[in-house]
Each structure stands twice: as structure tokens, then as C-alpha cells.
Structure 1
Amino acid sequence: MADTATQLPKTKRRARWPYFLAAAAVLAVISIKWLVPIGMEQRALAVIRAECPRVGIQIPSTTPPAPPPGASALSLLTHSTWMLSARKSTNLDADYVGPDFLREWTGHEFLRVRMIEGSAEDLRPAADQLHWLQDVVDVDLFGLEDEDAAYIGQLPRVKSLNLRSPFITDAGLSRFGEITNLRRLILPHAYINGRGFKAFSSMEQLEELDLTNTQLNDEGLGYVCKLNGLKSLQFVGTRVTDDGLVHLKNLPRLESLMLLGLPITDNGLKHLSDLKQLKTLSLLETKVTDAGLPYLLTLDNLEDLDLSETAVTLDGVRQLQVLHNLCRLRLGGFGMTNAQRDELQQALPGCEVTRY
């Protein structure tokens, strides 16, 4: 039997076309409203990836904020948080490190751009193009040398620098003093003694500083402590002694202090008693004894204290009962039994006592 639809008069079949056209129009509107922006965004990503072999784009895991009313579909790129990864490439074309078309596609302001997994070798060919990176706020590189520090200093909006390199000296460090918006500076293993911080004298906005395993000494710490906006300071494995800790009195906003592995004794602790905002303190593997603990009893805001691998005893630790905000106490390295730990926990009921 012939198909029923084919037996319908031609006029009736033609009468159905307006309905099909109307449905198609509705679908088209939906596609334009919802699908086109997605397609445009993907095409933009494709162009960026094709034109910039050294730049890796990663879509953030969090949902980007919605673009303002009336904004174009491409504003989705502008209002997202993008991470640009500097990558090694044998076919590098410096013209593509910072092309103008990136501005076309993503707008004139990046809310956040991060260079990760790159090295100084990746950065040098782009030196002449750094003018387009005016909105970079987070730089994470390794292998940097003093000559490269000048390029970093040209990025006025950088707020965070994580530069893992043993080749940076105080001469290069001084160039970072030109970055007026810097909030966080991480320089592990840098070959610096701290004199380069002379150039940071007016940088009151710097809040976090990590100088782990550098050559920082007592004199250099004096320059560091002129940065009176610091809230977090770490100089593990440096050459700082008890005498250098006297400079810490110039950091009234300090909330976190890491002194791990330093030759600090009870005489050094007396310089901590004025740090009234201190919340976190690590004295792991220092030479502190029970005699130095009274200097910590004035730290009313102290919440987290690590006394592991020191010469303190359980009798000395009991003095800490007066620190009512203390909620974490780490002890280890002097053979505390479970019974002793439980006894100490009862003496410090609001504090979690841990040992290893």
C-alpha cells in the first residue's frame, strides 16, 4: 500500500509548510540566543590556540560571572578568569606572544591572567611584547636571572610573584621594588642576603613574603622589616640569628611567622612578644626551651603553634593555658606518651594537641 502521506492532495501538503517554517524560526531564535555565543567562544579559543602556540588557555573550573546586560557573546571571554601558560616552543614567533588580536577577542582588560609552568627562557623572547601584558596579576616562573627581573618590573599590575630560582641576586631583587601593586612575593632558593629590599622602602602594600632557603642574614632582615604592611613572613633555612629577630618589632600587622630550622634560642623569642596580631607561629627544629615560652604568653591572638623538635617539655607547655585563642598545638620529637598527651589535652581543652 502506498504511504498515506503521499496520497494526500498537494494543497494539503503545502498547507503544512507554514507550520514547519514557524517551528524552524523558533529553533533558529533559540540557537542564536544560546548556541551562537558558545560557538563564538569556542571559535575564539580556537583562534587563540592556533595563533599563539606558546600560550595555553585553560578554562577555569569555577563558573565565570555573567556578563553585564547587553554585552556581546565574546564578553564571556573578558569576564572569565583565564590562565595563560608560557610554554617552550622550538617554533616561537615573538610576534605571537602578545598579538593585538588577543585584545580584539577578549576585550581590553583581563580580570586575571597567570603565566605558569614557564621559565626565564620562555620569557626572554617576549620581552619586547610585554607592553600587552599590562593586566597580568600573577607570575609563576622558574630559572629567572637578574637580567630578566627588569622585564618583570615592567608589569605594573602584578600582585603575586612566585620566582623559584637560585640565580636571582639582590641586584635583580631590587628591580621588583618598582612593582607598586605587589602583594605577594615568593623567592625560594634565591641567592640574596636581603640588601635588595632597600628598593622596597615605599612598598607598604606587600603582605606576604617567603624567603625560604635564601642567604638572608640579620642585616637583610632589617630591610625586610621596613615593609610594615607584611602579614605573613617565612625565612626558613636562612642565616638569621637571635640578634636579627629584633627587627620584627617593626611589623605590627604580622599574623604568620615561620622560623623553622633556624638557630633561634630563648633570647630570640623575647623579640616576638610585641607581635600582638600574630596568629600562626612555627618554631619547628629551633633551640627553644621552656625558659623562652613566657615570651609567647603575651600573644593573645595566637591560634596555631608548632613546638615540634624543640627542647621544650610537657611542664613548660602547660604555661600555654593562658593563651585562650590557641586552637592547634603541634608537639613532637620528645617521646610524649598517649597518657601524657591526654593529660595535656585536658589542660588545654579548647586546643587540639597533636604529636608524631
Structure 2
Amino acid sequence: MRSLRALCLISAALVLGCAAPSGAAQDDSARIAASIETAGGSVVRDRTGHIVDVSLARTWATDADVERVAAIKTVRRLDLSLTYASDRGVERLKALDRLEELNLSSAEFITDAAIAFLRGHRQLRTLNLRGTDVTDTSLSYVAELPQLQSLDISFTQISDVGLEHLASLARLEELNLGGNKISGVGLHVLKLLPKLKKLSFYGIQRRNAGWCWAPVVTDLELETISLLSGLEELNIGLGVALGAPRPDDLGPADSEAECRIAGGTRVTDLGLAKLASLEKLRRLDLSGSSITASGLKSLTAFRNLQRLSLWNVKAIDDSVGSSLEALTNLTSLDLSNTPVGDETLRRVARLPHLRRLYVSETNVTAQSVDALKKQHPAIMVSWAARSAPRVPLSPGSKHER
């Protein structure tokens, strides 16, 4: 009996000894959470009270802040976008062995060294490196993340050489390549990503010496993309002629000196027809492309299409109405900066599921917009006409007072 009683006491002591650190850990997590929220960040807890989501986005947090977060072992999602986190801070994340999502977007001090530290996070599913200083070297490290499903490497310094490393990411479903100096040479790797559902080439990145980078996307590249049978969302980027000056439609440049585009898109009716095999497409952005009203007849193949952008497609007119009217599942349609008019407006108003319609800078009249709003109040219509340029006053002009 004595031995049994002693055993019970020892067991109780062990249990109590294990509970104390747990309570201390919870106190530490609470203090860290308070400091995160004081700094403007946020935390999310699961049903058991453990912190699983931490955001320091737009707080300009430093590596010291990241090190404190690394003490919360239960974190699964971490947002460090628009912070001062550097390679040293990412190194501290080794302690977060449950990390599944990491956002480093626009953390400008992140380089290839930081991505090397992430190789041990083999459970990572989402990685956002948009606007960081990573190069092709980082993609060789990313290739060691077998569970990765979403990757944003837009506005970085990767090239065609680095894209070859993506071939090992068999689970990848989302890929953003915009604002990079890449061409069709590197895009052949897409054929090795059978689960890809979302693909974007959107964006132009301004570099030194008056150059801007954008992916090269032509009808030839669309032939490769047409092989991605599971694709649900496709953004071909801005329709900028290869090597052309920065277009006025993008607004003023960041500085007085304009830049020339290294890359760009040139998609025509022929390229769009090649995409007809993508029957699962739900979202398609053809902004600025050289597609005509005749070429848009190919859209009838996309029976599941819900969102379509034809912003700045200058070669279409009201004859496109019949093709758009056939897309009965559309919920959002952007026709801004195109020559379409009231006839197209009347046709698309018949779409049964349409909820958002953008027709600014078109030939659509205010009267037609008002009539549509009254007949279809469920449709949100965005319409505005650019005001006429002001006539400068000069001596002797009729505007002089």
C-alpha cells in the first residue's frame, strides 16, 4: 500500500509539474499578443485559446518583433507584409514548426538568404514574396517546399532560369508572376503543374535606367497555358506592346523619366481561340489586349465564366454584345475604356446573374445608365465620363474676364 501511495504522489507531482510550464507559456503568449496589438497588429485564437494567426502587416515591425512572435509555437499563419523584417528575422521563424502561411509582401529587406531559412518549413502551403528582393536562387529553395499550394513571386528579380525550379511543386494551385522579366522560354514549366487553378501575369515593375519589367505573353504563350485544363482564373496582364513606352492609361510614372517596357503582352483573336479548351475558367482578365469583337466570339466556350475584364480593349464595339449576352453566368463585367455604347449596355443588362458592371470612359450615355439602374436595381453600375480638358486662359481670349 505504501508503495502504491508513493507512486500516486509521484504521479501527481509529475502532472502538476507539467501543468505549470503550460500556464507560464499561456501568460507569455498573452503578453506577446498584447504587445502585437499595441503595435497595431492582430492575433486570432483557435477554440482552445491558442494563437494561430498573427498579423503585423503595415506596422513596420522589425526583427525584434518577429523574434517575439517566434516564441508563440502554435502560430500557423503569419503576415509580415510591409514591415522592416529582414533575413535575420525570418531565421527566427525556424521555431514555428506549424507554420502554413507566410506573407512577406513588400518586406523590402528580404533577400535570398531569408528564403534559405524557410526550407525547413516543409508544411508551408502559402508563400507571398511579392515586392521582395529575391532572385532565381530563392526559387531553388522554394522548390523544397512540397506542400506549397500558393506562390506569389511578382515584382521580384526572378527570370526564366528560376522558373525551372517550379517543376517540383506538384501541388501548386495559385501562381502570380506579374512584374517580372520572364518570357515564353520559362513558361513551359507550367505544363508540369497539373493542379494549377489561378495564374496571373498582371503588373509592370519599374527598374533603374528607365526600364520597366513585364512578363512576355503572346499568342504562343497562350498555347502553353491552354494545356492547363484545371485553370479557373487567368489574368494575362496589361496589354502593352513589346518594348513600348509606358502607356498613358497607367497614369503618371513614379518620377519624371518615363520607362520602356522590357516585355509586355500582345494577345490577339488567335490566342484567345486557343484558350477555348479551358472549360473550367471562372475569371478571365484580357485588359488591354488586341482582341476584336469577332475574336470575342470564342468566349462562348467559357460556360462557367463569372468575371470578365475587357478594360482598355480598343478594338471592340457594340457588335460584341451578342457574344457577351451568351455568357449567362457572368456576375462581373468590366468594359471600361472601350468604344462600346448603349446597345451593348442593353444586351448585357439581360444577363441573369450580373451584379457589377463597369462602363466608365465608354460611349455609354447617362440616360442609358439611369434606365438600367431603374430596371435592374440589383446591378451595381460604375460609370463616369472624363471631363473635357480646361481651355487655358490667354490674353484676348473669349474666356478672359
- What TM-score comes out, normalization by structure 2 length? 0.65
1:61 to 43, 46, 50: 43
- 1:239-254 paired onto structure 2 within 5 Å: 239-254=266-281
2:193 to 200, 203, 209: 203
Distance verdict in 2 for CA 1:125–1:303, change over 3 Å: closer
- After TM superposition, give the deviation of residue 115 of structure 1 in Å: 4.0
Name stretches of at least 5 consecutive residues in structure 2 with no aligned partner: 1-15, 34-38, 51-70, 203-213, 239-264, 385-401
Question: Is 1:280 the equivalent of 2:269?
Answer: no
Cα RMSD over matched residues?
3.5
Question: Is 1:261 the equivalent of 2:294?
Answer: no
Partner in structure 1 of residue 147 of structure 2: 157
Task: Tell me the alpha carbon deviations over residues 171-195 of structure 1, each in whole angstroms, 9 at most, x when there is no partner.
Answer: 3223212212212111111122334
Looking at structure 2, the residues matched to 62 and 253 of structure 1 have their Cα atoms a distance apart, in angstroms, of 34
Looking at structure 2, the residues matched to 122 and 316 of structure 1 have their Cα atoms a distance apart, in angstroms, of 48
Name stretches of at least 5 consecutive residues in structure 1 with no aligned partner: 1-27, 46-56, 69-75
Looking at structure 1, the residues matched to 48 and 331 of structure 2 have their Cα atoms a distance apart, in angstroms, of 38
- 1:110-129 paired onto structure 2 within 5 Å: 110-118=99-107, 122-126=110-114, 129=117
The total of aligned residue pairs comes to 301
- After TM superposition, give the deviation of residue 126 of structure 1 in Å: 4.8
- After TM superposition, give the deviation of residue 112 of structure 1 in Å: 3.4
1:88 to 86, 89, 97: 86
1:178 to 168, 189, 208: 168
Q: Choose between structure 1 and 2: higher helix proportion.
A: 1
Partner in structure 2 of residue 24 of structure 1: none
Alpha carbons 1:303, 1:325 under 8 Å: kept: yes
Looking at structure 1, the residues matched to 156 and 20 of structure 2 have their Cα atoms a distance apart, in angstroms, of 54
Alpha carbons 1:160, 1:183 under 8 Å: kept: yes
Looking at structure 2, the residues matched to 131 and 337 of structure 1 have their Cα atoms a distance apart, in angstroms, of 56
Looking at structure 2, the residues matched to 183 and 60 of structure 1 have their Cα atoms a distance apart, in angstroms, of 28
AA aligned opposite 1:278:
L
Alpha carbons 1:83, 1:112 under 8 Å: kept: yes
Alpha carbons 2:182, 2:216 under 8 Å: kept: yes
Of 293-302 and 274-283, the range deviating more from structure 2: 293-302
Looking at structure 2, the residues matched to 234 and 134 of structure 1 have their Cα atoms a distance apart, in angstroms, of 29
- After TM superposition, give the deviation of residue 84 of structure 1 in Å: 6.8
Question: Is 1:138 the equivalent of 2:126?
Answer: yes
Distance verdict in 2 for CA 1:41–1:344, change over 3 Å: closer
2:372 to 344, 351, 355: 344
Looking at structure 1, the residues matched to 229 and 167 of structure 2 have their Cα atoms a distance apart, in angstroms, of 15
Alpha carbons 1:60, 1:80 under 8 Å: kept: no
Task: Tell me the alpha carbon deviations over residues 132-166 of structure 1, each in whole angstroms, 9 at most, x when there is no partner.
Answer: 12122222222332233222212212222111336
Looking at structure 1, the residues matched to 141 and 229 of structure 2 have their Cα atoms a distance apart, in angstroms, of 26
AA aligned opposite 2:318:
D
Alpha carbons 2:178, 2:200 under 8 Å: kept: yes
The structure that has the greater radius of gyration is: 1
Task: Tell me the alpha carbon deviations over residues 43-77 of structure 1, each in whole angstroms, 9 at most, x when there is no partner.
Answer: 999xxxxxxxxxxx997533234279xxxxxxx94
Looking at structure 2, the residues matched to 82 and 252 of structure 1 have their Cα atoms a distance apart, in angstroms, of 33
Looking at structure 2, the residues matched to 44 and 350 of structure 1 have their Cα atoms a distance apart, in angstroms, of 46
- 1:182-197 paired onto structure 2 within 5 Å: 182-197=172-187
- After TM superposition, give the deviation of residue 118 of structure 1 in Å: 4.1
Looking at structure 1, the residues matched to 187 and 375 of structure 2 have their Cα atoms a distance apart, in angstroms, of 44
- What TM-score comes out, normalization by structure 1 length? 0.72
Alpha carbons 2:126, 2:149 under 8 Å: kept: yes
Alpha carbons 1:231, 1:254 under 8 Å: kept: yes
Question: Is 1:311 the equivalent of 2:339?
Answer: yes
**Partner SS for 2:175:** strand
Distance verdict in 2 for CA 1:111–1:143, change over 3 Å: closer
Partner in structure 2 of residue 21 of structure 1: none
Looking at structure 2, the residues matched to 354 and 114 of structure 1 have their Cα atoms a distance apart, in angstroms, of 32
Looking at structure 1, the residues matched to 379 and 79 of structure 2 have their Cα atoms a distance apart, in angstroms, of 43
Partner in structure 2 of residue 298 of structure 1: 326
AA aligned opposite 2:157:
F
Distance verdict in 2 for CA 1:225–1:44, change over 3 Å: same
Of 299-308 and 59-68, the range deviating more from structure 2: 59-68
Partner in structure 2 of residue 38 of structure 1: 26
AA aligned opposite 1:152:
V
Partner in structure 2 of residue 233 of structure 1: 234
